[in-house]
């Protein structure tokens, strides 16, 4: 009896201790599609370290790399619902839920990477942030994802006519389907994780991505023509679920925002180095790289994507023009 009493008191005591730990310390769950040595992943780890240090361990952030928490479109929904607390996302798949974010998925909209940085850190980034907040997402920092170019297993692409008849995987967003169809290619929206096998088995002929993703996924092993069309410069965001963010103290929110901005600075530095390293790796691995001297024909071919977008979103014409006029 006495013994039983002692045991249950001990259990009650440890439950209380657990409960009080749960109240004072919160672990945020983070989604990331990339491998652990990818610039995005390293920057997310640095974000987590800063958050834990500056909150004295009250708030910790655990990132699940390699897409183990699911595909990107699903993860975006879970973020909005607060099931996932934070993550690093391309604004490509984000565009289907946040129209403002879709503007950066228009082909050739940013004239250069430095221009993209400047605009995302200014009025353009703020307009996109507002759109995201209105749909349950709090951006903490803009990451770089370079420029995306086509790769395939059939032939080099030098002109839009070379895309004709090729089956190209795209991220889940109608704009990318229209973009490929504008050159008479066949577009297939598909999860990132399925691309390698789909190229290998001939379900698609190729895809399009920046050098670090082309290299880190080993897609270059199965699609050895990499044509530097650089048709999309799509920034990425480290962002939080607004439900989670709004539940934190003001001090914690400030720390998260500052840590997010610091991680973006680091990510952008790492990105530049990784792009160069990735190009060396794919070239050493036998990739045939071709540059495109005149991108004009690609811009002309893809122009109808703008027409369709502006017809469906007339209220976003100002934001499109703001970017096209240099922010």
Question: Considering the complex, what minimum distance in angstroms separates the CB of residue 145 from ligand BDP?
Answer: 5
Is residue 217 within the footprint of ligand BDP (CB under 6 A)?
Answer: no
Q: Which stretch binds ligand BDP (CB under 6 A): 157-165, 209-217, 285-293, 298-306?
A: 209-217
Selection from 228, 216, 300 nearest residue 33 by Cα:
216
Question: Considering the complex, what minimum distance in angstroms separates the CB of residue 88 from ligand BDP?
Answer: 7
User: x/- string (CB under 6 A) for ligand BDP, residues 236-265?
Assistant: x-----------------------------
Of residues 123-152, those binding ligand BDP (CB under 6 A):
145
Question: Considering the complex, what minimum distance in angstroms separates the CB of residue 283 from ligand BDP?
Answer: 19
Q: Which stretch binds ligand BDP (CB under 6 A): 205-213, 291-299, 306-314, 318-326?
A: 205-213
Query: Residue 102 or residue 213: which is nearer to ligand BDP going by CB?
Result: 213
Strands (DSSP E) along the chain, which ranges? 26-31, 59-64, 86-90, 137-143, 148-152, 167-170, 186-189, 206-209, 225-232, 236-241, 288-291
Is residue 267 within the footprint of ligand BDP (CB under 6 A)?
Answer: no
Strands (DSSP E) along 7-145, which ranges? 26-31, 59-64, 86-90, 137-143
Q: Which stretch binds ligand BDP (CB under 6 A): 46-54, 150-158, 208-216, 287-295?
A: 208-216
Contacts of 80 (CB under 8 A, 6+ apart): 97, 135, 136, 137, 241, 242
Strands (DSSP E) along 126-283, which ranges? 137-143, 148-152, 167-170, 186-189, 206-209, 225-232, 236-241
Question: In whole angstroms, what is the distance from residue 23 CA to residue 119 CA?
Answer: 40
Is residue 210 within the footprint of ligand BDP (CB under 6 A)?
Answer: yes
Is residue 72 within the footprint of ligand BDP (CB under 6 A)?
Answer: yes
Is residue 90 within the footprint of ligand BDP (CB under 6 A)?
Answer: yes
Is residue 177 within the footprint of ligand BDP (CB under 6 A)?
Answer: no
Judging by beta carbons within 10 Å of its beta carbon (0-12, 13-18, 19+), is residue 220 exposed, middle or buried?
A: buried
Half-sphere exposure of 34 (CA within 13 A, CB side): 21
Question: Considering the complex, what minimum distance in angstroms separates the CB of residue 11 from ligand BDP?
Answer: 46
Is residue 213 within the footprint of ligand BDP (CB under 6 A)?
Answer: yes
**Residues within the interface to ligand BDP (CB under 6 A):** 33, 72, 90, 145, 171, 192, 209-210, 213, 236
């Amino acid at each position: 009896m006495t013994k039983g009493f002692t045991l249950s008191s001990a259990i009650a005591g440890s439950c209380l201790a657990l409960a009080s730990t749960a109240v004072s310390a919160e672990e945020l769950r983070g989604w990331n599609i990339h491998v652990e040595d990818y610039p995005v992943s390293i920057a997310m780890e640095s974000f987590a370290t800063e958050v834990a240090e500056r909150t004295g361990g009250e708030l910790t952030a655990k990132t699940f790399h390699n897409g183990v928490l699911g595909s990107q479109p699903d993860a975006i929904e879970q973020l909005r619902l607060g099931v996932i607390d934070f993550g690093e996302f391309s604004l490509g798949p984000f565009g289907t839920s946040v129209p403002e974010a879709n503007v950066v998925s228009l082909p050739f909209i940013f004239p250069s990477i430095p221009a993209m940085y400047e605009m995302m850190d200014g009025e353009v980034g703020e307009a996109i942030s507002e759109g995201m907040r209105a749909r349950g997402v709090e951006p903490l920092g803009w990451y770089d994802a370079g420029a995306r170019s086509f790769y395939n297993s059939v032939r080099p692409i030098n002109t839009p006519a070379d895309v004709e008849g090729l089956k190209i995987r795209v991220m889940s967003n109608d704009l990318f389907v229209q973009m490929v169809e504008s050159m008479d290619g066949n577009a297939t929206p598909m999860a990132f994780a399925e691309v390698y096998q789909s190229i290998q088995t001939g379900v698609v002929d190729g895809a399009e991505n920046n050098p670090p993703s082309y290299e880190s996924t080993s897609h270059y092993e199965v699609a050895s023509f990499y044509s530097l069309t650089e048709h999309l410069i799509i920034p990425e965001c480290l962002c939080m679920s607004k439900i989670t963010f709004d539940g934190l103290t003001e001090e914690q929110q400030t720390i998260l925002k500052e840590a997010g901005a610091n991680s973006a600075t680091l990510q952008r530095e790492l990105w530049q180095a990784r792009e160069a390293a990735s190009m060396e790796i794919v070239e050493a691995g036998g990739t045939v790289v071709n540059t495109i001297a005149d991108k004009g024909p690609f811009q002309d071919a893809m122009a109808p994507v703008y027409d369709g977008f502006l017809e469906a979103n007339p209220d976003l014409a100002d934001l499109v023009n703001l970017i096209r006029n240099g922010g």
